[in-house]
Amino acid sequence: MKSRLLVSATALVLAGVAACAPIRDVRGYVPDDEKVASVRVGADTRDSVQEKLGTPSSTATFGDPTWYYISTEQERYAFFKPEVTKRQILAVQFTEDGKVADMRTYGIEDGQVISLADRETPSRGKEMSFLQQMFGNMGAMPPSAPGSRDQPTRPGGSGE
């Protein structure tokens, strides 16, 4: 009897500890140090970089042609919001003729927080609750089709 209770309590404690363990999630390009080191500035081209490192996660829209290889690691406990624990960005910059000009690595400490504008564009009209929207047209007359007999007559004339 005591051993069953001990085994049950141990199983319960282990299940509780396992439930508190973080869930790790790694996304994006996880760089292989050997492959990254094999890319040579001035020697490799876009094709050879893509052959060695694969397709980039993103490319620069403006400015110098740059490829970005982005990886993110985050941890989540139970149902809480995930927290980014590691972010690595490998930026490969190319010259106009397509050769590697520069390679840089950025981490989560290099990021900057950007505050977004929280202004709201006002719209004309009436704010209505869900119930007002649902029951707002009850009892209203449906619009009648042009040429139907339900239309009112014009002053001084008939409805036809």
Which tens digit of pLDDT belongs to each residue from 97-143? 889 999 999 988 887 767 777 777 777 777 778 888 778 777 776 66
Does position 151 have pLDDT exceeding 60, yes or no? no
Q: How far apart are the first and last CA of the chain?
A: 96
Please state whether 21 falls in left (phi above 0), alpha (psi between -120 and 50) or beta.
beta
Per-residue pLDDT of 38-73, as tens digits, reads 999 999 999 999 999 999 988 888 878 999 999 999
| Residue 100 CB neighbour total at 10 angstroms | 20
Does position 86 have pLDDT exceeding 80, yes or no? yes
Q: What is the largest CA-CA distance in the chain?
A: 102
For the chain, give every domain's residue range: 21-110
